[in-house]
Homo-oligomer: A and B are copies of this chain.
Amino acid sequence: MSKIDSPDPEGLMLPVPGVDYGPLDGLLGYALRRAQNALYLDFYRATADWDVSPQRFAALVLIARNPGLRQGLLGQAMGLHRSGALRLTDWLTAQGWAERRDAPDDARAWGLYLTPNGKRRLVKLEAAVAAHDRALLAALGDSGAALKAGLERLAWVATAQSTAPDNQPRRQKP
């Protein structure tokens, strides 16, 4: 059997020998992108049996931990626009893993809940993801905890820079 078209390990952002990366190698942001690329692919491998993206996994967790969560609040927690939260919720309900119920206190809003099917799915996913994370931390050894703390600090610092009052040349869309 011969390979058909592209059986390459695509998406694997490996440093290519002979290519000069110039200033990229020195940038914190580029190191972050490389790490996220590798981790994303590894997440897919670890959860290959269930075909759920990191984002969808996060949504399942948030709904499970906050039964009756508003669609809008789900979007806010995940950095999504309302319309993105809508599509995410549509997908989860189409899978039969989540459902919308009327919110008792506001007739405009939905409350989101996991179905029994969704709960069963999440139990397996959480186990796989936790095992995957433990394996990573084990491979990183002592530096793992420091790395996580550093990332949280970085998120905070970058957010502070973005939202500082003196730093507001916000992007203009055409």
Contact = CB atoms under 8 A, between A and B. Distances in A.
B38 A155 contact: yes
Contacts of A95: none
A107 interface: no
Interface of A: prevailing SS: helix
Contacts of A169: 45, 48-49
Interface string A140-174: 10011011101111111111111100010111100
B147 A21 contact: no
A136 B163 contact: no
Contact of A21 (B16, B45, B61, B126): B61
Contact of A32 (B29, B32, B81): B32
Contacts of A160: 139
Given A29-B133, A34-B155, A21 B140 contact: no
Given A54-B33, A159-B38, A171-B48, A147 B79 contact: no
Interface of A: 6, 9-16, 19-24, 26-39, 41-45, 48-49, 51, 54, 58, 61-62, 64-66, 69, 73, 76-82, 126, 129-130, 132-133, 135-137, 139-140, 143-144, 146-148, 150-163, 167, 169-172
24 contacts: A10-B79, A12-B79, A12-B159, A16-B76, A23-B126, A24-B62, A26-B133, A28-B39, A28-B144, A28-B148, A29-B39, A29-B129, A31-B151, A31-B152, A35-B151, A38-B158, A39-B155, A42-B159, A45-B167, A48-B170, A136-B157, A136-B161, A140-B154, A143-B146
